[in-house]
Amino acid sequence: MADPLRLLERSDKHYLGSGTGIIFAPRFPRWLEHPGFWDEIDVYHYQLAPLFTVTFLDSSGDRPGSPLAARQLSRRWTPAELVAQYRLDEGLEGCERRSALPGGYFLSEWRLENTEDTPRTLLAVAWTVQDTDGLDLSTVRTGPGSAAFRRALQDRHVHRLAVEVTLEALGDGVAGGAYLAERSTFDPRWELTPFPEKWRGGVTTAVQAGGVSLSGILHVAAGSRVEVPAGGAATLALRARVRPQNFADARMTSLLAADLQQQAPLPEPAGPTDPPTSAEPGAASRASWQAFYDAVPGLCCSDPFIERYWYYRWYGLRLCSHEGGVGNHFYPGCCEGTGYFHVPVSYSAQCHARELRWLPEPERARGVILNFLAHQKESGQLHGRIYVNHLAHTDFYFADWGGAALAVDAVHPDDSFLRAIYRPLTLYAEWLQRERDADGSGLYDVIDHYETGQEYMSRYMAVSLDADSETWGKRIRLKAVDATVYAYQLQRALAVIAERLGDGDGARRWAMVAERTGEAILELMWDEETGMFSDVDPRSMRRTGIKAAVCFYPYFTDLVGERQVGGLRRHLLDPAEFWTACPVPSTSTDDPYYSPEAEWKGKRHNCPWNGRVWPMANSHVAEAVARAAIEHDPALRETAAEFIRKFIRMLFHDGDPTRPNCYEHYNPDTGQASLYRGYDDYQHSWVNDLIVKYVAGLRPTGADALVVDPLPFGLESLRLSRLMFRGREVEVELERGRFKILLDGKLGAESRIGTAVEVQL
């Protein structure tokens, strides 16, 4: 089995995290060649910069001398650490290992090597510069080898989060200082700080924060002495800890809070965490990440793109994970991405649930759903985001809550979980009927172009020429394919859950509602002549005819039959519409607004859906093609495999199998990622779930059985191991067209590609 940390090692990446919501993932870093973490860190969706850098000073007695010029020679990354080699001085080199550990710790751990025949005494200093805006000067304190302060961070909605930052120079701590100055520069240059002058007579421990004005910048430092023997080496560690403070007012706002907690008890908040200590720099982070990878299913595959992306995706999911019991994040879950996306978002929660269900324990997969239900509005509507310490400006997004819930239950069935989600999802489905299908058509309204998560498209312009207004809540009306399919999926799921829980009336009710919605999709959205589904203009109840990737969404439901599959072939596989070099564009290439370069009306946009390839839409379309192939047209099996293979290969820079990525969107002609956005590891899709179901071929049936039916990817070999399914350990082994399934180490069945087998548990 591959070593994931070694497999993912590369020199062009820098994100670091430990699954706790506090990470190092600057979009456009400027200071990676400097030791420490001078670029911003994400404290949930808040940013803090700078955190700290490290300077080494020659030391003679108590007097520090001049700073050593740390010249970075190389840098390499794994999920566990960023390793940088430096030349510090003649005969003196250093290896720094940067890492992020649970508890909000950011470590800069060093091994210093002295090749000279004279020992070296150094003062290692962790230091930072902080603007006094938001800084509480009364909290500044210092000690030998330590310094701390408290400041308020501000998000884009002008909400604040207080954090306490502690700097520590571990070992022989001798100095801690904090000095106020008028604003100057925030560059990590030691000679521009007050310390060379304040410590010229010897290091001290002091706080000096006074003057005619308390505005400006505060220089904060913590130092320790290190002896590097002649011809030998020494290790040391410097670190910062970032601890959020004001979560006390967070509470469960759902009207069903008591019922929800009874069925899905809240986890205990994590207590104080001290990182493990080790004489070997970076060992704690490597052990933490290795333990994580030892718990996820293992994959060996003859296709290096599939194998490497499997492990890369698990890294991204852990990077964006957050703890339970922290502020409004009652349950462990997952954020959408980094920066201001480092927050749970309803549109991407459906993705996280599908992928995280393949972890051996279900708490995180369930948690991404439960966190939204825990804050359900009185109306039944769900928030679009769950900020860690407030619920303002949360917006709204449509999402496939029903499909996600059943996907989790298929792998980890539990009636308590279903009871916990049944009533809240019922209230949400009723809100959808009341507010988004007020005319009783069975089709559901989108009222602005943001709430589908797919802004800037022709589909909205078809009902309003100013639909692309940059204001949330723009009152357009479009009966949308995606919104209606999601509603249908929810209604079907509620019928299934009600039946399982013994609510016969509820099962019949929601089955009837789903039937009506399904009939409306087939009668009003399906165009027999063009062979395509379409949005509907509610003013005339006529189809708009706009061709978008969402028009394929009905194909991943149970609604379509052979009659519609011809339309899928006709449009999806047409290079003049959707089958581009890197399929599929979010809008057909023959659309008048189509742009592969992310332009809308002559201006490059951040998040345009008028032609870019979005992994979110591709995940849906992959499900659509695969289901059509498996249930209706076996000739599409090759197409489904080709599409998923192209999708995964697009997620690598320049076709290089050593450089996986996951950006928001891509060029359909070149596969170029949206580098200009700076948001890599954007968990706004599902990929590993596709690998399990269609590459390895392992698909839940919804009962105590699974179907194994790999699609024809042309693989020489594949082995999926350590996959927990309904309490059983499953392994799939594929070689030269044949495959076998092992349950708890024993042969369960075997077959060849093209002949599915059902394995009873």
Confidence class for position 272, pLDDT limits 50, 70, 90: low
pTM for the model stands at 0.97
Q: What does the alpha-carbon distance between residue 611 and residue 666 come to, in Å, rounded to a whole number?
A: 9
Helix/strand/coil for 87? strand
- CA triplet 505, 511, 513: central angle to 5 degrees? 105
Find residue 220's DSSP bridge partners: 128, 178
Confidence class for position 269, pLDDT limits 50, 70, 90: low
Residue 636 within a domain: yes
pLDDT per residue over 189-220, tens digit each? 999 999 999 998 888 899 998 877 888 999 99
Q: What does the alpha-carbon distance between residue 404 and residue 334 come to, in Å, rounded to a whole number?
A: 14
Q: What does the alpha-carbon distance between residue 444 and residue 520 come to, in Å, rounded to a whole number?
A: 10
Find out whether the peptide bond into 50 is cis, omega within 30 degrees of 0.
Answer: yes
Give the model's pLDDT for residue 61. Answer: 63
Specify whether 608 is located in the same domain as 504: no
Q: What does the alpha-carbon distance between residue 483 and residue 382 come to, in Å, rounded to a whole number?
A: 14
Specify whether 541 is located in the same domain as 558: no
The yes-or-no verdict on residue 456 having pLDDT over 70 is yes
Give the model's pLDDT for residue 65. Answer: 83
Residue 85 within a domain: yes
For residue 88 the two structure tokens come to: 């510090």
Helix/strand/coil for 99? strand
Q: What does the alpha-carbon distance between residue 81 and residue 100 come to, in Å, rounded to a whole number?
A: 8
Specify whether 516 is located in the same domain as 560: no
Find out whether the peptide bond into 584 is cis, omega within 30 degrees of 0.
Answer: yes
The yes-or-no verdict on residue 248 having pLDDT over 60 is no
The pairing of strands 22-23 and 542-543 is unpaired
Measured torsion, CA atoms of residues 495, 501, 505, 507, in degrees rounded to the nearest 10: 10
pLDDT per residue over 700-717, tens digit each? 998 889 999 999 999 999
Distances (CA, A) of 710 to 24, 688, 734: 38, 14, 9
**Residue 118 exposed, middle or buried by CB count within 10 Å (0-12, 13-18, 19+):** exposed
Find residue 479's DSSP bridge partners: 445, 536
Helix/strand/coil for 732? strand
Find out whether the peptide bond into 408 is cis, omega within 30 degrees of 0.
Answer: no
For residue 310 the two structure tokens come to: 């499997």
DSSP state of 288: H
Q: What is the mean pLDDT of residues 366-372?
A: 97
The pairing of strands 532-533 and 526-527 is antiparallel
The yes-or-no verdict on residue 307 having pLDDT over 80 is yes
pLDDT per residue over 610-666, tens digit each? 999 999 999 999 999 999 999 999 999 999 999 999 999 999 999 999 999 999 999
Amino acid code (one letter) for 672: Q
Distances (CA, A) of 416 to 262, 304, 367, 371: 9, 40, 13, 16
The yes-or-no verdict on residue 474 having pLDDT over 90 is no
pLDDT per residue over 124-148, tens digit each? 999 999 999 999 999 999 999 999 9
Give the residue carrying structure tokens 């999601």. Answer: 486
For residue 49 the two structure tokens come to: 């910069």
Computed over every residue of the chain, the mean pLDDT equals 95
Residue 252 within a domain: no
Contact predicate 592/458, CB 8 Å: yes
Cα four-point dihedral sign 551, 553, 557, 563: positive
> Which ranges of 114-229 does DSSP label H, i.e. alpha helix?
195-198
Q: What is the mean pLDDT of residues 361-373?
A: 97
pLDDT per residue over 214-239, tens digit each? 889 999 999 999 999 999 999 999 99
The yes-or-no verdict on residue 164 having pLDDT over 80 is yes
3-state secondary structure 639-679: HHHHHHHHHHHHCEHHHCCCCECCCCCECCCCCCECHHHCC
Find residue 725's DSSP bridge partners: 728
Residue 396 within a domain: no
The yes-or-no verdict on residue 560 having pLDDT over 90 is yes
Residue 308 within a domain: no
Find residue 24's DSSP bridge partners: 16
Specify whether 30 is located in the same domain as 123: yes
Confidence class for position 256, pLDDT limits 50, 70, 90: low
Last residue of a domain, which of 244, 269, 285? 244
Give the model's pLDDT for residue 266. Answer: 78
Q: In the chain, what percentage of residues exceed pLDDT 70?
A: 96
Contact predicate 167/53, CB 8 Å: no
Specify whether 681 is located in the same domain as 744: no
Specify whether 129 is located in the same domain as 82: yes
Q: What does the alpha-carbon distance between residue 688 and residue 312 come to, in Å, rounded to a whole number?
A: 10
Last residue of a domain, which of 686, 717, 739? 686
Cα four-point dihedral sign 337, 341, 342, 344: negative
Phi then psi for residue 95, to 5 deg, are -115, 115
Number of structural domains in the chain: 4
Cα four-point dihedral sign 387, 390, 396, 401: positive
Angle between helix 401-411 and 481-500 (nearest 10): 40
Find residue 161's DSSP bridge partners: 153
For residue 727 the two structure tokens come to: 């309490």
Give the model's pLDDT for residue 478. Answer: 97
Phi then psi for residue 395, to 5 deg, are 60, -160
Instruction: Look at residues 660, 664, 681 and name the one whose alpha carbon lies nearest to residue 673.
Output: 664
For residue 604, give its domain range. Answer: 548-686
Specify whether 172 is located in the same domain as 56: yes
For residue 387 the two structure tokens come to: 């900020």
Specify whether 228 is located in the same domain as 141: yes
Contact predicate 219/129, CB 8 Å: yes
Give the model's pLDDT for residue 709. Answer: 98
Helix/strand/coil for 729? strand
Give the model's pLDDT for residue 202. Answer: 87
Distances (CA, A) of 117 to 11, 85, 185, 230, 539: 33, 22, 39, 5, 86
Other Cβ atoms closer than 10 A to 156: 11
Other Cβ atoms closer than 10 A to 511: 17
For residue 687 the two structure tokens come to: 């990929």
Specify whether 595 is located in the same domain as 654: yes
Q: What does the alpha-carbon distance between residue 140 and residue 218 come to, in Å, rounded to a whole number?
A: 10
DSSP state of 525: I
Specify whether 597 is located in the same domain as 459: no
The yes-or-no verdict on residue 12 having pLDDT over 80 is yes
Q: What is the mean pLDDT of residues 158-167?
A: 94
Q: What does the alpha-carbon distance between residue 419 and residue 588 come to, in Å, rounded to a whole number?
A: 42
Specify whether 541 is located in the same domain as 554: no
Q: What does the alpha-carbon distance between residue 541 and residue 660 come to, in Å, rounded to a whole number?
A: 44
Give the model's pLDDT for residue 210. Answer: 82
For residue 38 the two structure tokens come to: 């001078």
Give the model's pLDDT for residue 674. Answer: 98
The yes-or-no verdict on residue 52 having pLDDT over 90 is yes
Specify whether 36 is located in the same domain as 107: yes
Residue 505 within a domain: yes
List, in order, residues 6 or more apart from 213 with CB less than 8 Å away: none
The yes-or-no verdict on residue 512 having pLDDT over 80 is yes
Question: For the domain that residue 235 is a member of, what is the CATH number?
Answer: 2.70.98
Confidence class for position 254, pLDDT limits 50, 70, 90: low
Last residue of a domain, which of 218, 244, 270? 244
Q: What is the mean pLDDT of residues 678-700?
A: 98
For residue 431 the two structure tokens come to: 């809100």
Contact predicate 573/639, CB 8 Å: yes
The yes-or-no verdict on residue 568 having pLDDT over 80 is yes
Residue 672 within a domain: yes
Residue 322 within a domain: no
pLDDT per residue over 320-338, tens digit each? 999 998 999 999 999 999 9
Please spell the DSSP secondary structure of 318-336, one letter per residue: HHTEE-SSBTTB-S-EE-S
The yes-or-no verdict on residue 475 having pLDDT over 80 is no
Q: What does the alpha-carbon distance between residue 546 and residue 534 come to, in Å, rounded to a whole number?
A: 6
Give the model's pLDDT for residue 249. Answer: 53
Other Cβ atoms closer than 10 A to 657: 14
Q: What is the mean pLDDT of residues 400-417?
A: 97
Find residue 300's DSSP bridge partners: 719
